Amino acid sequence: MPATAPTWDPAQYLRHAGHRARPFTDLLARIPDLPADAPRIADLGCGPGNVTVLLADRWPTARVTGYDNSPPMLERARQYAGPTPGGGHLDFAPADARTWTPDEPFDLLVSNATLQWVPGHADRFPDWIDRLAPGGTLALQVPGNFDAPSHRLLRELADSRRWRDRLDGVLRHDDAVLTPEGYLARLAAAGCTADVWETTYVHLLPGEDAVLDWVKGTGLRPVLDALGGDPAARDAFVEEYRTVLRAAYPAEAHGTPFPFRRVFAVARKPAGSAGSAGSAGEAGR
């Protein structure tokens, strides 16, 4: 059974902000022109807002809303809220991607490094695409590294005799995301033309126990939450995990190489398509 999203620590997450932003800029580079001069954009699972700002940079006249269900992330993001230099506007609002349905037409719906936390997220695609303006785009990026040592070792440790009873069902399983072909099929079935690809980044991380530091901001958080009431147990788990990670990702003189596979999809709704969003969209602009 997939686990639910954990408590987030924006400061820990942002410790590797440069590496984490790279897939977002690569995703952005493949998004085609949007159908409106002053587009309406949603960033679903916006996190601390630092990449949401890049949407306002690319579309200076856009009205961009970052949605997230984590209060600490939204609080951090709100420092960027307000008018943008190009005449657009940026704001942030609570929303849960498991149930969120746009209540207005969007020209672009982006979700970066979020949908792996949303079980069954591909079932939401038809609703989201229906509410896109004609010619609008749904663009997403998810990690495809659930078989990487960082995640496999974490699952193995959580499933070991010592921890099994306390951590059963806490971690996401390897079916948290679809294959690239799976995304292509689901987006095509929803009537879109889709561009799907995968990339393995080799992040070169600085410092000691760099991979542990990275996963403390993301994949390890459900365990930190589950053991949060027992700091001695939490620290013991982290020490065991640190030991196996050091062996799996040895630090080199130039840093610790951390291969990280990611899956991308950019799906465009046909410009001529009628949908419930289309007619409302033109009127609502």
Ligand X SMILES: C[S@@+](CC[C@H](N)C(=O)[O-])C[C@H]1O[C@@H](n2cnc3c(N)ncnc32)[C@H](O)[C@@H]1O
Of 216-245, binders to ligand X (CB under 6 A) are 218
Residues that bind ligand X (rule: CB under 6 A) add up to a total of: 22
Alpha-helical runs (H) found in the chain: 10-13, 17-29, 52-58, 71-77, 125-130, 149-158, 164-167, 180-189, 210-215, 221-226, 231-248, 276-284
List Cβ neighbours of 243 (8 Å cut-off, separation of 6 or more): none
Interatomic CA distance for residues 66 and 89, integer angstroms: 11
Of the residues 39, 47, 134, 144, which one makes contact with ligand X according to CB under 6 A: 47
Of the residues 3, 31, 73, 184, which one makes contact with ligand X according to CB under 6 A: 73
- 260 lies in the binding site for ligand X (CB under 6 A): no
Name the segment binding ligand X (CB under 6 A); options: 55-63, 94-102, 224-232, 257-265. 94-102
List Cβ neighbours of 186 (8 Å cut-off, separation of 6 or more): 122, 125, 178
* DSSP assignment letter at 81: -
Of the residues 16, 20, 151, 262, which one makes contact with ligand X according to CB under 6 A: 20
Interatomic CA distance for residues 132 and 268, integer angstroms: 9
Of the residues 114, 137, 145, 150, which one makes contact with ligand X according to CB under 6 A: 114
Name the segment binding ligand X (CB under 6 A); options: 29-37, 112-120, 188-196, 258-266. 112-120
Name the segment binding ligand X (CB under 6 A); options: 25-33, 109-117, 153-161, 243-251. 109-117
- 112 lies in the binding site for ligand X (CB under 6 A): yes
| Closer of 99 and 193 to ligand X (Cβ) | 99
Over 49-77, what HEC string results?
Answer: CCCHHHHHHHCCCCEEEEEECCHHHHHHH
Q: For the window 177-216, what string marks contact with ligand X as x by the rule CB under 6 A?
A: ----------------------------------------
Interatomic CA distance for residues 34 and 56, integer angstroms: 13
Of the residues 28, 55, 109, 118, which one makes contact with ligand X according to CB under 6 A: 118
Interatomic CA distance for residues 69 and 98, integer angstroms: 10
| Closer of 68 and 130 to ligand X (Cβ) | 68
| Closer of 8 and 264 to ligand X (Cβ) | 8
Interatomic CA distance for residues 42 and 253, integer angstroms: 42
Residue nearest ligand X by beta-carbon distance: 47
List Cβ neighbours of 27 (8 Å cut-off, separation of 6 or more): 110, 112, 139, 140, 141, 264, 266
| Closer of 114 and 256 to ligand X (Cβ) | 114
- 285 lies in the binding site for ligand X (CB under 6 A): no
Contact positions vs ligand X (CB under 6 A): 5, 8, 20, 24, 45-47, 51, 68-70, 73, 95-98, 112-114, 117-118, 218
